Amino acid sequence: MKMKEILLTLFFSVFLSACTEHKFVVSEIRGSKIPLDNTTEQLSDKSFGDFLAPYKAQLDEKMNEVIGSATGNMPVHAPESLLSNFSADVYRQVASGYLKSPVDIAIVNLKGLRTSIPAGEIKVSKIFELMPFENELVLVWLKGTELSDLLQFFASIGGEGVSGLRMEIKDGRAIKILIGDHAIDPDKTYVIATNDYLAEGNDGMTQLTRHIQRIDTGIKIRDMLIAFIRDQTAKGNKITSKLDGRITLY
């Protein structure tokens, strides 16, 4: 065989072996926990840290802005709490302004409120802690029968954040339900302010998916709360809330 043929043969042998699909098998997986605290500073890339520094400074300035003041601690718990009452009331007020017509009730999921608001200064960062999600304000129109079923579900889990209604929970059942000042009407259509997460039927609220109509406002819940607090502060008001017996558990 000539040298040229030998070289060509070797070339194609190497080429074909390189094109052959290799199958890799995972033989071992190992992991370790790395705490994200000041001890990790030694592992950081200083040049990248220097690059991020001005952006971090801008972000810190925005997050540390004081936008209002709370008159007292506002925790979240069932069946009703200062924070869930405050949040649901803001939902209903903003939704009514958006619709330019009164909204009957508002519904807030207690699990969606991820922290409490302490007494004193309220910073932007606290609202981001409270609402770290990109949820939006949604309006749904629901028949009284579906709303009644939804409130029975609330009773079975001990309550949820609401505004515009009153009810009692006894033996896991919702009783004495009032929407505004009137008993719930199974044939009436009610306008409900909530968030897009719940409007999709999450947290067990499947009744909200059986709406007659739905409007997505595009208003971020977090932005809505920040704007409301700013507005109240501009008017010289502090942020406050009260327990008013909108949900009573026996």
**In the chain, where the domains are located:** 63-237
pLDDT the model gives residue 38: 74
Buried b (16+ CB within 10 A) or exposed e, 154-163: bbeeebbbbb
In the DSSP assignment, the letter for residue 28 is -
Q: Name the strand (E) or helix (H) holding 48.
A: helix 46-63
* Residue range 76-112, pLDDT digits in tens: 999 999 999 999 999 999 999 999 999 999 999 999 9
Round to whole Å and give the CA distance between 204 and 213: 20
pLDDT the model gives residue 15: 52
Q: Name the strand (E) or helix (H) holding 134.
A: none
Q: Is pLDDT at 164 greater than 90 in this prediction?
A: yes
Buried b (16+ CB within 10 A) or exposed e, 98-108: beeeebbbbbb
Q: Please, are residues 208 and 154 in contact by the beta-carbon 8 Å criterion?
A: no
Q: Please, are residues 204 and 151 in contact by the beta-carbon 8 Å criterion?
A: no
Round to whole Å and give the CA distance between 162 and 194: 9
Cis peptide before 75 (omega within 30 of 0): no
pLDDT band at 24 (very low <50, low <70, confident <90, very high): confident
Round to whole Å and give the CA distance between 99 and 214: 12
The strand order across the sheet containing 165-170 reads: 182-183, 173-179, 165-170, 247-249
pLDDT the model gives residue 107: 98
Q: Is pLDDT at 7 greater than 90 in this prediction?
A: no
Structure token digits, residue 215: 């409007």
* Residue range 25-58, pLDDT digits in tens: 888 888 877 777 777 777 778 888 788 878 888 8
pLDDT band at 187 (very low <50, low <70, confident <90, very high): very high
pLDDT the model gives residue 32: 78
SS3 16: helix
Round to whole Å and give the CA distance between 159 and 75: 15
In the DSSP assignment, the letter for residue 112 is G
Round to whole Å and give the CA distance between 112 and 110: 5
pLDDT the model gives residue 76: 97
The CA–CA distances, whole Å, from 90 to 37, 45, 122, 224 equal 36, 44, 16, 8
Q: What is the pTM of this model?
A: 0.81
Q: For the structural domain made of 63-237, what CATH number should be given? A: 3.90.780.10
